[in-house]
């Protein structure tokens, strides 16, 4: 019972407080609410990530351990993307030219870090490979591959003459595809290729199930909202403006049009 | 150029993705899949967990909808609709797959907690992958050759 209480207090409660703090912070810009909200979210995140130390007896703490293991490469890739985007041709606040190559190198380093974790040094939890790493890594690879091919389609469909950019993106997607095929054939130190293939198959089941579940939920709520909106009465007719209202509108227009005012 | 709204161009969005997935699955089959007996259980658990969690979040959002549109019963109807769909999904998955407990989890409670953490792991993988792909796409776009919007006459 005490173990359950400890797990609830040191893992599940902080896990719920992360999104709650973020929503609380984003709900208002003035006052101390954003500071309090982000502080709650940050402290809760740290508690979730340190749960493998604070509640090692809980199986769920493997999730916190995994988040801690991937936070480094994730930050590196996010920083890299930021530098690469904002050193390009953007109209405002362009970063120095050297930020671009630094950004791309940063993204590559993040990916190389993850690759080394797969081949040589996976996250170890209770003297074994963290079970959630075997879920996260194939899901990540599969998602990158599928989303990049989706973006290629989106560039061709939505973009105006974006064939060159779609070509570069196709090269990026192809690199991932070849890398993924190699991972399905080469054994790592602790993860063999056969296990990786099985995990990729299971990750596909996970990802498809998750996406379908989210879609079912959204469609269900959308149907309820659509039913309510259909039943709303048509808005009533508004009476014509009186002289006072017309003068007010005229004043607002005069104050905001022209250009001869200070 | 075919306009954006043209129905003929919509397949461009999904064809590359489906082709990639099909090719990858073909390669996995050629190399040998191995032990994947639990794949339907994993699919069903992921489906039911993500449906429950997202439904709960959307049901909470319906309270603000009810306030803004003066429809106080909206959250009740939403929860009713969600329960019906959830019951149908659970019945469907249980009738196809039988017991949904994975081997490593001895009880239903353990399975539910495992599913919630697994959902966190899968969604984090999806979000990080999405961020990387979008970041790369925008980096490619902002570094492409500058194009003139207007031609001088």
Say if B22 is an interface residue toward chain A (CB within 8 Å): no
Please report, rounded to a whole number, the percentage of residues in chain A having pLDDT higher than 90.
Answer: 46
**If you compute the radius of gyration of chain A from its CA atoms, what whole number of angstroms results?**
26
CA angle at A158 for the pair A157 and A159, rounded to the nearest 5°? 100
User: How far is A240 from A129, CA to CA, in rounded Å?
Assistant: 73
Which residues in B lie closer than 8 A to residue A74 (C-beta atoms)?
128
| Angstroms from A17 CA to nearest CA on chain B | 14
- pLDDT for A140 equals 94
Report domain extents, chain A: 1-57, 59-128, 132-226
| Angstroms from B49 CA to nearest CA on chain A | 7
CB B82 within 8 A of CB B61: no
- pLDDT for B8 equals 62
Which residues in B lie closer than 8 A to residue A135 (C-beta atoms)?
118, 121-122, 125
Residue of B nearest to A225 (CA): B74
- Chain B, 98 to 137: residues with Cβ < 8 Å from chain A are 104, 110, 113-114, 117-126, 128-137
CA angle at A80 for the pair A21 and A146, rounded to the nearest 5°? 80
Mean pLDDT of B97-106: 72
Looking at every residue in chain A, the average pLDDT score rounds to: 89
CA nearest to B78, candidates A211, A227, A19: A227
Cβ pair B16:A150 closer than 8 A: yes
- pLDDT for B139 equals 92
Indicate whether A41 pLDDT > 60.
yes
Residue of A nearest to B20 (CA): A146
**Considering the entire predicted model, what is its pTM?**
0.84
């Amino acid at each position: 019972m005490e173990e359950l209480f400890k797990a609830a207090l040191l893992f599940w409660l902080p896990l719920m407080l992360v999104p709650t703090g973020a929503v609380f912070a984003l709900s208002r810009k003035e006052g101390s609410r954003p500071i309090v909200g982000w502080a709650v979210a940050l402290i809760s995140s740290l508690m979730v990530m340190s749960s493998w130390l604070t509640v090692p007896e809980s199986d769920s703490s493997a999730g916190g351990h995994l988040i801690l293991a991937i936070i480094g490469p994730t930050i590196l890739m996010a920083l890299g993307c930021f530098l690469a985007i904002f050193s390009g041709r953007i109209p405002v606040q362009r970063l120095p030219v050297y930020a671009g190559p630094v950004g791309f190198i940063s993204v590559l380093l993040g990916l190389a870090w993850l690759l080394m974790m797969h081949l040589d040094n996976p996250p170890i939890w209770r003297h074994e490979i963290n079970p959630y790493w075997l879920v996260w890594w194939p899901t990540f690879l599969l998602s990158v591959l599928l989303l990049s091919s989706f973006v290629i389609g989106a560039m061709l469909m939505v973009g105006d003459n974006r064939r060159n950019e779609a070509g570069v993106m196709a090269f990026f997607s192809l690199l991932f595809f070849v890398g993924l095929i190699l991972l399905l054939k080469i054994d790592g130190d602790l993860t063999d290729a056969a296990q990786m293939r099985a995990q990729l198959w299971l990750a596909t089941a996970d990802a498809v199930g998750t996406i379908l579940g989210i879609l079912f939920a959204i469609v269900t709520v959308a149907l309820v909202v659509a039913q309510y909106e259909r039943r709303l009465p048509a808005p009533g007719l508004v009476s014509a403006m009186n002289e006072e209202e017309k003068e007010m509108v005229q004043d607002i227009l005069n104050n905001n049009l022209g250009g001869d005012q200070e | 150029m075919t306009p954006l709204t043209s129905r003929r161009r919509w397949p461009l969005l999904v064809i590359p993705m489906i082709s990639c997935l099909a090719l990858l699955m073909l390669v996995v089959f050629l190399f040998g899949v191995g032990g994947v007996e639990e794949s339907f259980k994993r699919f069903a658990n992921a489906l039911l967990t993500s449906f429950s969690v997202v439904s709960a979040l959307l049901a909470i959002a319906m309270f603000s909808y009810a306030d803004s549109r003066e429809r106080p019963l909206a959250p009740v109807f939403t929860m009713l609709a969600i329960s019906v769909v959830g019951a149908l999904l659970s019945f469907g998955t249980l009738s196809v797959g039988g017991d949904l407990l994975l081997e490593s989890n001895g009880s239903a409670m353990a399975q539910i907690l495992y599913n919630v953490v697994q959902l966190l792991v899968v969604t984090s993988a999806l979000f990080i992958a999405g961020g990387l792909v979008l970041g790369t796409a925008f980096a490619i776009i902002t570094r492409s050759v500058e194009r003139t919007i207007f031609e001088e006459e």
